[in-house]
A and B are shown apart, each in its own frame.
Chain A
Amino acid sequence: KAGVTQTPRYLIKTRGQQVTLSCSPISGHRSVSWYQQTPGQGLQFLFEYFSETQRNKGNFPGRFSGRQFSNSRSEMNVSTLELGDSALYLCASSFGTSGGALNEQFFGPGTRLTVL
């Protein structure tokens, strides 16, 4: 079956702009988690959605927001972009809530965001 897909794969924006990233989970998966990955900080958890509800949230400012639709597809939005937001944004899907031992997470290829 098809894996996790993310669009777009690459994105260049300027400071102050806003951006929306999209993630389509594996069919049947209800949980979508978002992560930011930078060389200096590694993988950092942004938030998790399960059945259209935000279940967990990491320590990111309110400029980072997300939502999940009834078909489990998820979008992440970053407003008022800053240079430090340049990163690889990964989404991962799982059948149940992520972190559970029986709920293996499958990652998408990521969206590479560059803020100029």
Chain B
Amino acid sequence: KNQVEQSPQSLIILEGKNCTLQCNYTVSPFSNLRWYKQDTGRGPVSLTIMTFSENTKSNGRYTATLDADTKQSSLHITASQLSDSASYICVVSEGRTGGFKTIFGAGTRLFVKA
């Protein structure tokens, strides 16, 4: 069964610190992996999209890595800010003939404290 698991479920860090969120998946065949940031009460916003051949992609202070062999991805946040407090969702798309199927992780809730 195709699954996407994220860890930790929640995380509290101090402003200015770095953190890393994990995403493990069993989706096959793999098409692409996305990280989204979702502020409370708002729709998710795309941070990065990576395909099989990409193993690192950055978007400002956000850096995503992908290891397609071990089926693991991480999202590293550098020098965290209060505005980074949000849920971070890992989404993996399964590539198959006729279209794609996307599987969502449950998300990691990040709290950045002053």
Contacts and interface: CB of A to CB of B under 8 A. Distances in A.
A107 interface: yes
Interface stretch (A14-22, A38-46, A62-70): A38-46
B62 to A, nearest CB: 15
A108 B31 contact: no
Interface string B58-98: 00000000000000000000000000000001000110000
A92 to B, nearest CB: 7
Contacts of A45: 102, 104
A88 B39 CA distance: 13
B43 A110 contact: yes
Interface residues of B, number: 21
A59 to B, nearest CB: 12
Interface in A93-116: 97-101, 104-110, 112
A73 B31 CA distance: 27
A81 interface: no
Label chain B's interface by main secondary structure: strand
A110 B93 CA distance: 22
B12 interface: no
7 contacts: A43-B107, A90-B44, A98-B100, A99-B31, A99-B94, A107-B44, A109-B43
Interface of A: 4, 42-45, 55-56, 88, 90, 92, 97-101, 104-110, 112
Given A90-B44, A97-B100, 20 more contacts: A42-B89, A43-B104, A43-B107, A56-B99, A90-B43, A97-B99, A99-B31, A99-B93, A99-B100, A100-B31, A100-B93, A101-B31, A101-B93, A107-B43, A107-B44, A108-B43, A109-B42, A110-B41, A110-B43, A112-B41
